[in-house]
A and B are shown apart, each in its own frame.
Chain A
């Protein structure tokens, strides 16, 4: 069905919608259904959830951006706020303006006057009361509100009904009937409010939807690991990493793999290590507190040369911190953590699709270089859901590590598990291989794996292990660069900052700032390209989602010119919005400008 309306509504090209209320209110369901409708209309979507770490209660919100083209974050401006209570308005009012529309549940009374910016269009109705009165269940208030929201956004009634059917069918006829009834009530309410069919605030130009998949970063990581031949996963549930475990528990057994929830993170990493000894490709995933617990195992894998992928879905720390809030404050522990010196690789994806390809790389690299490989995620990258092009499976290259078969062992004079070699990598025979018996240990050892404190051997072994990383540098995943290479202002940021910086650059360009951006995809070892990028720029804004400026310090530690680095740090737990970053940059740039002028005057 096409719109019968021909008046002057703007075509919907880029819109951000928040649904906010209390945890358990079902904000996420509303957003998920909206995302589905927009996808069907040919738009792309990006969704974010903001929850307290409780099942019910506590403020909770879900946000969706629907757009044409490519975006990788939530927009700065919220066009439509669906507030299920007054607290929701209070919490989100800073993101709206007089151009925004607010749909408000006034079951507990009218919205306090003066709360909204002057001129904001408000649509209020007692959704909760209506739901209780007609259906005796509070939950249906969302479905009532949906009718109004859908109409405002220019969605077709019939399309809404279809999405409801698709969503609730599985839950049984009764639940479906109630929800459809609630939707009809909502549509009726919309009529009463004067939001007739085709007379919403926007017009959607239906296009043929491009084939896309809807995934969160954690699912992409799980899938990338699986596609790279990963067949063993152990981990302990922790927000925001749990979806990696859950996804693999669902999918890995089909491919003959094992995905198991362990009794704690110590078991998580050590079970993975035990499995890795048998030659299977292995991964574990965790977040802050869990990564602290795993440190002994990480160093052990480094010393014993055990291939292992470790996913750290970073959340706000220290300690239990703010479990559901994004942060990037475990970078130090990934790069420098664990006692003693050992090699490791840290990869930093920037979007759910990037997560897939880097998980493939991480799995190959761990196997090849026989060392711990971290994938540094953050809560937003882990759990925000984006529509992305279906992963290109034909592009996936699964490169087995150096293994010895029984025949190859038989051809050797002597087989040594830790034999010194050109590239520092020792081919090994997996248990079960005739003739390949060996010893693996975290203690310092000789080439056979026998414990040794011989000083010469010690130095040679240590150097062998570190040499692998020098070799790896030649092929570690390169970063993604955006902008002209001679732009004076540079950005460095990882994880969720990828989409935010890309968006901010567009706005900054409009305001006359010429910028370039490097998303390093290998954070450790630091690649030359990262330092060269800094050399090229006049100044570089290094965006750190942590209090200590961990990326900035890492760059300086690796030789970047510290006078060029402007460290931007944020650790309030709020997700970055492009507009916020733009303001920060403009402020700094103006400051710099003024200082220049002052200096010029003084001369």
Chain B
């Protein structure tokens, strides 16, 4: 059954981003990838963090959710585990994912749920007006600390299965990466992490700088994304040379979280009939029996 045209639901909002913001490209590519991959709006949950990037869910037809700052990953994992039939996508900024939510990112690499996470990295806090973020370089806004690299972080988890970095200035490649990411999660292979370099034209316009610095590993025939060690070495080398690696950094295999903890013999948690008490009555009786004295 498809949406009956007669029922009106929310009208997707017009993006509130500044003209020229990299996030426009991310949204455009996302919409196209979803279409190409045949993901229906009612089967899609798009959960977003807090930030400029965290408004993307308002702009397309989907089941959208606006999480707390830094908590989009746990919320997304909760939704996926409760209903693995859905396509569940998390989106947010570099402050959201690498600062306040960094602990959850680490544990998502570790647990490998089949969700896609689009992290729009503009190397600053756009929404709160330009403060330094965990990816800001030394010197930006008085920042004295070296920025982190999420590909290296992801590679350090032997359970990570999909690591890629795109650039809003290269939407074609971004589309390929996103479709591959959706393919990865739709086939239950685990966590697809896609960082997108998405410049903030208002507070920290990195567009030209990044265009000059990116190095596309997809075009490097000697690069093997299935080798974790090689990927690690390549990313470090490129960083040392002043490049920012983009492309498909790593693909690996590891059991997905939902394949481990959701009971396949039973109806999925969110699809059970609330109120059909007798469906599991035997387990309730069993509980009582186990505690009889």
- Evaluate contact between A437 and B277: CB separation under 8 angstroms: no
Q: How large is the interface on A (under 10, 10 to 19, 20 to 34, 35 or more residues)?
A: 35 or more
- Evaluate contact between B85 and A256: CB separation under 8 angstroms: no
Query: Which of B57, B71, B104 sits near A439, CB closer than 8 Å?
Result: B57
Query: Which of B66, B78, B85, B270 sits near A441, CB closer than 8 Å?
Result: B66
- Evaluate contact between B267 and A256: CB separation under 8 angstroms: yes
In the complex, 27 of the A-B residue pairs with CB atoms within 8 angstroms, ordered by the A residue number, are A39-B293, A213-B288, A213-B292, A227-B284, A231-B82, A234-B74, A253-B261, A254-B263, A254-B283, A258-B261, A266-B70, A270-B78, A271-B75, A273-B78, A274-B77, A277-B79, A278-B83, A278-B86, A398-B275, A398-B276, A416-B9, A432-B85, A435-B3, A435-B7, A437-B61, A439-B57, A439-B58
- Evaluate contact between B83 and A414: CB separation under 8 angstroms: no
Query: Which of A223, A260, A434, A449 sits near B81, CB closer than 8 Å?
Result: A260
- Evaluate contact between B293 and A213: CB separation under 8 angstroms: yes
Instruction: Tell me if B98 counts as interface (CB < 8 A to partner A).
Output: no
Instruction: Tell me if A168 counts as interface (CB < 8 A to partner B).
Output: no
- Evaluate contact between B263 and A409: CB separation under 8 angstroms: no
Bound-state CA distance A35–B67 (Å) is: 48
- Evaluate contact between B293 and A436: CB separation under 8 angstroms: no
Bound-state CA distance A4–B102 (Å) is: 71
Query: Which of A257, A274, A433, A434 sits near B75, CB closer than 8 Å?
Result: A274
Please give me the residue from chain B that is nearest to A216 by CB atom. B291
Instruction: Tell me if B8 counts as interface (CB < 8 A to partner A).
Output: yes
Instruction: Tell me if B242 counts as interface (CB < 8 A to partner A).
Output: no
Stretch at the interface among B37-45, B198-206, B227-235: B37-45
Bound-state CA distance A334–B85 (Å) is: 35
Instruction: Tell me if B220 counts as interface (CB < 8 A to partner A).
Output: no
The CB with the most chain B CB atoms within 10 A, among A258, A279, A399, A433, is that of A258
- Evaluate contact between B58 and A451: CB separation under 8 angstroms: yes
Query: Which of B107, B271, B275 sits near A400, CB closer than 8 Å?
Result: B275
Please give me the residue from chain A that is nearest to B65 by CB atom. A440
Bound-state CA distance A212–B45 (Å) is: 46
Residues A280 and B9 in contact in the complex (CB < 8 Å), given A270-B74, A432-B42: no
- Evaluate contact between A431 and B291: CB separation under 8 angstroms: no
- Evaluate contact between B270 and A278: CB separation under 8 angstroms: yes
Query: Which of A219, A255, A410 sits near B6, CB closer than 8 Å?
Result: A410
Residues A275 and B275 in contact in the complex (CB < 8 Å), given A439-B58, A449-B10, A450-B58: no
- Evaluate contact between A274 and B65: CB separation under 8 angstroms: yes
Residues A297 and B78 in contact in the complex (CB < 8 Å), given A398-B277, A431-B45: no
Please give me the residue from chain A that is nearest to B107 by CB atom. A263
B19 partner residues in chain A, CB cutoff 8 A: none
Residues of A within 8 A of B (CB): 35-36, 39-40, 209, 211-215, 219, 223, 226-227, 229, 231-232, 234, 251, 253-258, 260, 262-264, 266-268, 270-282, 296-297, 300, 304, 367, 387, 390-391, 393, 396, 398-401, 406, 409-417, 430-443, 448-451
Query: Which of B13, B44, B78, B263 sits near A274, CB closer than 8 Å?
Result: B78
- Evaluate contact between A256 and B288: CB separation under 8 angstroms: no
Q: Chain B at the A interface: mostly helix, strand, loop or mixed?
A: mixed
A279 partner residues in chain B, CB cutoff 8 A: 82-83, 270, 274
- Evaluate contact between A431 and B42: CB separation under 8 angstroms: yes
- Evaluate contact between A448 and B10: CB separation under 8 angstroms: yes
Bound-state CA distance A281–B70 (Å) is: 24
- Evaluate contact between A431 and B83: CB separation under 8 angstroms: yes
Interface residues of B in 183-217 (CB under 8 A from A): none
Number of interface residues of B (CB under 8 A): 73
- Evaluate contact between B4 and A433: CB separation under 8 angstroms: no
Query: Which of B64, B81, B86 sits near A440, CB closer than 8 Å?
Result: B64
A257 partner residues in chain B, CB cutoff 8 A: 263, 269
Query: Which of B6, B107, B291 sits near A213, CB closer than 8 Å?
Result: B291
Instruction: Tell me if B129 counts as interface (CB < 8 A to partner A).
Output: no
Instruction: Tell me if B222 counts as interface (CB < 8 A to partner A).
Output: no
Q: How far is the CB of A452 from chain B (nearest CB, A)?
A: 11
B61 partner residues in chain A, CB cutoff 8 A: 437
- Evaluate contact between B63 and A266: CB separation under 8 angstroms: no
Bound-state CA distance A290–B275 (Å) is: 31
- Evaluate contact between A274 and B79: CB separation under 8 angstroms: yes
Instruction: Tell me if B28 counts as interface (CB < 8 A to partner A).
Output: no
Give the top 5 A-B pairs by smallest Cβ distance, nearest first. Answer: A256-B266, A274-B78, A274-B75, A441-B66, A275-B78
- Contacts A232-B269, A410-B4 known; 13 new A-B pairs at CB < 8 A: A214-B291, A214-B293, A254-B283, A263-B106, A267-B74, A274-B77, A274-B82, A275-B81, A276-B78, A279-B274, A396-B277, A435-B3, A439-B57
- Evaluate contact between A258 and B75: CB separation under 8 angstroms: no
A400 partner residues in chain B, CB cutoff 8 A: 274-275
Instruction: Tell me if B146 counts as interface (CB < 8 A to partner A).
Output: no
Residues A413 and B7 in contact in the complex (CB < 8 Å), given A281-B274, A432-B83: yes
- Evaluate contact between B74 and A437: CB separation under 8 angstroms: no
- Evaluate contact between A435 and B4: CB separation under 8 angstroms: yes
Bound-state CA distance A254–B58 (Å) is: 37
- Evaluate contact between B283 and A251: CB separation under 8 angstroms: yes
Instruction: Tell me if B62 counts as interface (CB < 8 A to partner A).
Output: yes
- Evaluate contact between B86 and A432: CB separation under 8 angstroms: yes
Please give me the residue from chain A that is nearest to B80 by CB atom. A274
Residues A442 and B9 in contact in the complex (CB < 8 Å), given A213-B292, A399-B275, A435-B3: no
Bound-state CA distance A416–B62 (Å) is: 13
- Evaluate contact between B2 and A262: CB separation under 8 angstroms: no
Q: How far is the CB of B128 from chain A (nearest CB, A)?
A: 15
B2 partner residues in chain A, CB cutoff 8 A: 434
Bound-state CA distance A304–B261 (Å) is: 28
Interface residues of B in 273-291 (CB under 8 A from A): 274-277, 280-281, 283-288, 291
Please give me the residue from chain B that is nearest to A407 by CB atom. B1
Instruction: Tell me if B262 counts as interface (CB < 8 A to partner A).
Output: yes
A229 partner residues in chain B, CB cutoff 8 A: 272, 274-275, 277
Please give me the residue from chain B that is nearest to A234 by CB atom. B78
Residues A409 and B7 in contact in the complex (CB < 8 Å), given A229-B272, A400-B275, A433-B42: yes
- Evaluate contact between B65 and A439: CB separation under 8 angstroms: yes
- Evaluate contact between B284 and A393: CB separation under 8 angstroms: yes
B79 partner residues in chain A, CB cutoff 8 A: 274-275, 277-278, 431
